[in-house]
Amino acid sequence: MSTTLLAPVVNKSGYETYGIGNFTFERDEYFAHILYPGNRHVMPVEAFLRALMRDVAWGFFYGSVNFDHVFGTINHYGTVEMFVGLNNASYRASHQEYVETFQSWDLKRVFENILAGWTNEGFDPFAAPEETGQAYGPRHGNNHQAIRRQRLAAKRMLGLPGDLGVRTDASGLTVNRQFTDVPQDAPELHPEPGFESEVHGVNLFAYLSRSDVTWNPSVVSVVNDSLLCPTTEEHILPIIHGNDRVEWFIQLCDRIIWDVEDKISGAPLAKVTMKAGDVSAMPADIRHRGYSPKRSMLMVWENNDGTLPHRHASGELKPYPVEF
Ligand code: PHB
Ligand code: FE
């Protein structure tokens, strides 16, 4: 076989085309084109790359990751469905939905390649729009450094020996421009002698004030299936997240406005404005997207119990956590 047959397909804007199953992904200077049997879905490439970044970094996350109201993925923890129109009442009503199932690892590898091939120098899909260059234009350079960031997961509580280490100017993580009012002092610690490596406290606000990414929870504490995932938010959550379990939010500062919709149809259900100190439980049968007008801090509390998706789907568990 001639090697030219194996050469990647590169279009006149310099972008490679990627395929998996019956899906083909093309990009031009402004748009991502998702081709599937019989049709094409088009998304602004910036929104597509921001969503793709989250789907890759979070290993397809919990439940569904909707890139917009048409295209997305559903995690089955080992396999993953990629769909067009599956979570869209109009597509479903006219039988226009299209779904394929992949091994998670295979789809992740293709997604990583798209992200690497389509992210231009100067564009960071994790950054707030005001803090990054543009995604648009003909292919120029790359930003592997930004897209290969790994989500940080604590092995021990933040700040204890052997863990992530607290963020400092010296580690290159400076206080964000919108968090200059956040006190940087550390808590006083008085452990009993011999317990110095086991008793600890950190200033979580100071830690978060130095986060250089948006809408990318860090797992700062793991206790059995309880994952505390604080994050800093600015602009729009790049995906519309469809839950397969209950998820709790604690607004740590400032404000996020959430659109809550039916998970399957996308029908609007609620607008939730969360101000500093507000707590909400996002039910297992909804999807949500947050808007943060100014950089804010959010604690996302996840339950990693792998039995939850089918217990909710079978009706054994109610979609909400408490009955008032
Ligand atoms: C969510 O879908 O619940 C979510 C994801 C990322 C965030 C915040 C919330 O940064
Ligand atoms: Fe969510």
Distance separating alpha carbons of residues 301 and 211, to the nearest angstrom: 18
SS3 label, residue 99: strand
DSSP string across 229-264: EEEEEEEE-SSEEEPSS-EEEEEEESEEEEEEEETT
pLDDT band at 309 (very low <50, low <70, confident <90, very high): very high
* Under 8 Å between Cβ of 290 and 237: yes
Distance separating alpha carbons of residues 260 and 311, to the nearest angstrom: 22
* Under 8 Å between Cβ of 292 and 246: no
Distance 188 CA to ligand 1 centre (A): 31
Question: Residues in the chain, how many?
Answer: 324
**Residues linked to residue 271 through DSSP beta bridges, in sequence order:** 259
For the stretch 215-248, pLDDT in tens is: 999 888 888 999 999 999 999 999 999 999 999 9
Distance 321 CA to ligand 1 centre (A): 18
Q: What residues have CB less than 8 Å from 155, skipping those under 6 apart?
A: 162, 163, 222
Report the atom number in ligand 1 closest to the C-alpha of 214. Answer: 10
Question: Which residue's CA is minimally distant from atom 2 of ligand 1?
Answer: 241
Q: pLDDT at residue 159 above 80?
A: no
The angle that helices 104-118 and 45-57 make with each other, rounded to 10 degrees, is 140
3-state percent breakdown (helix, strand, coil) of the chain, nearest 5: 15, 35, 50
pLDDT band at 6 (very low <50, low <70, confident <90, very high): low
Radius of gyration of the chain measured on its C-alpha atoms = 21
Mean pLDDT of 25-40: 98
Nearest CA to 207 among 255, 159, 150, 155?
A: 159
Distance 111 CA to ligand 1 centre (A): 20
* Under 8 Å between Cβ of 210 and 283: no
Q: pLDDT at residue 166 above 90?
A: no
The DSSP output letter for 266 is: -
The structure tokens listed for 46 are: 């910036």
Q: What residues have CB less than 8 Å from 266, skipping those under 6 apart?
A: 69, 87, 88, 89, 287
Q: Regarding predicted confidence, which is higher, 306 or 7?
A: 306
Distance 306 CA to ligand 2 centre (A): 16
Tell me which H or E stretch contains 281. Answer: strand 279-282
Mean pLDDT of 126-130: 97
pLDDT band at 2 (very low <50, low <70, confident <90, very high): very low
* This prediction's pTM: 0.94
Other CB atoms within a 10 A radius of the CB of residue 252 amount to 18
User: Which of 228, 245, 300 for mutating ligand 1's site (highest number of atoms within 8 Å of CB)?
Assistant: 300
SS3 label, residue 118: helix
Tell me which H or E stretch contains 288. Answer: strand 286-303
- CA contacts within 13 A on the Cβ side of 116: 11
* Phi, then psi, of 100 in degrees rounded to 5: -135, 150
